[in-house]
Structure 1
Amino acid sequence: MNGEVSRFIDSGILEMYVLGDTSPEQNEQMERMLKEHVEIREELYSIEVALEKYAINQAAPVDPTIKPFLMATVDYMQRISNGEPVSFPPQIAADSLISDYNDWLNRADLQLTGPLDEIEAHIIGSTPELTTAIVWIRNGAPAEIHKKELETFLIVEGTCNIVVEGKDNHLGRGDIFTIPLYRSHYVQITSAIPCKIILQRLAA
């Protein structure tokens, strides 16, 4: 392990990244280092595993969204380091269509990897400002509040109800919904099949 990698790991930025406490500039640096150094990808995975074990040991429920998105980040960086060209999916707008994302939705390597537990994700584009992913949700996602990013859903398959401050927002194929900042919300899947979505997180 070279000195730059060792100093980067020792700086604590990986732990901050896992907890979502990094700045846009730090996220950009992290993405570059993940792409260039396998040691950092391995260390990031080790931190994620340690976090999950700690939560289990404390008898605290593990947020089901943490692991799939950490794994999706590592997978994306590995794909880029293996030669996949960086792509820039369009930002979701009011007139966006599912077909706008067919280049990614139709890729064999961006399908479900096996039986769905709760949530699976594949990142298809990432910049310091905007992350786009294909996401499958089996039952739902727990309550949370976004303070630094706008989260937008484009429903590809299935149906869901995004409950924002107690208000139902029923969504089906082709529907688009952006979750307001500082509002408690959670997701309920209302279809017999998992809800498949294009999910974007835009820095606010």
Structure 2
Amino acid sequence: MAADEEIREVEERAATDPSVRAAINNFSISLEKNAIKNAIAPPAVVKPFLMATLDLMERLAKGETLGSPPKMHSNSKIADYEDWLNRPDMALTPYFEGVYAKIIGYTPKIITAIVWLREMAPDEVHHSEYKNFLIVEGTCSITIEEEVHNLVPGDYLAIPLYKNHFVTVTSEEVCKVILQRVAA
């Protein structure tokens, strides 16, 4: 990393010397090409949850007070989340690509979201968080390692740490779930 004085010197030289300016520009282009050539595609669920986070930040900036959805457990019911499920702004957007989410609760330990899945959610393994599902609409199968769990509305499933799992939507309609990520 260059010192402040060195940065100033280079900027001054670039402002007055076209060859320095061209060298910096060529180096920048080379860096960009290298970054594109070696780019790694993020997992498919990154974009929907990044968009959900931005949506949450916008809602909070507009004055929304974030609620506290209950922590999920084996006796959780859809009715436990009706305050969020019945809100008109917690609806599926018509232009979603495959996974869409709305965050309804956030603490440093627990993130709760309403998630819509069109076909599937790719396989994952979690090392630092538990993942809990409560099926609201539609049906799906969640495969944990080799074990398949066929789920219908009202079903709850907890994903253990260190286990490969993925979701496959089995209904014609979009599968809507409450997803809760809990820090281990």
Scaled by the length of structure 1, the TM-score of the pair is: 0.70
| 1:191 counterpart (141, 147, 171) | 171
Runs of 4+ in 1 over 6 A off after TM superposition: none
| 2:87 counterpart (91, 99, 107) | 107
Written as runs of structure 1 = structure 2, the 5 A alignment for 1:1-204 is: 61-204=41-184
Q: Does the residue aligned with 2:148 lie in a helix, a strand or coil? A: coil
**Percentage identity across aligned positions?**
50
Counterpart CA distance in 2 for 1:55 and 1:64 is 20
Counterpart CA distance in 2 for 1:66 and 1:55 is 19
CA RMSD in angstroms, aligned pairs only: 1.8
Change (3 A) 1:158 1:55: farther
Scaled by the length of structure 2, the TM-score of the pair is: 0.77
Change (3 A) 1:82 1:153: same
State the number of aligned residues.
151
Counterpart CA distance in 1 for 2:57 and 2:35 is 26
Partner amino acid, structure 2, of 1:148: S
Larger Rg: 2
Q: Does the residue aligned with 1:183 lie in a helix, a strand or coil? A: coil
Residue equivalent to 1:26: none
Query: Which structure carries more strand by proportion?
Result: 2
Is the CA contact (8 Å cut-off) linking 1:152 and 1:200 kept in structure 2? yes
Segments of 5+ residues of structure 2 without an aligned counterpart are 1-33
Is the CA contact (8 Å cut-off) linking 1:55 and 1:61 kept in structure 2? no
Change (3 A) 1:129 1:110: same
Counterpart CA distance in 1 for 2:82 and 2:71 is 14
Counterpart CA distance in 2 for 1:83 and 1:151 is 29
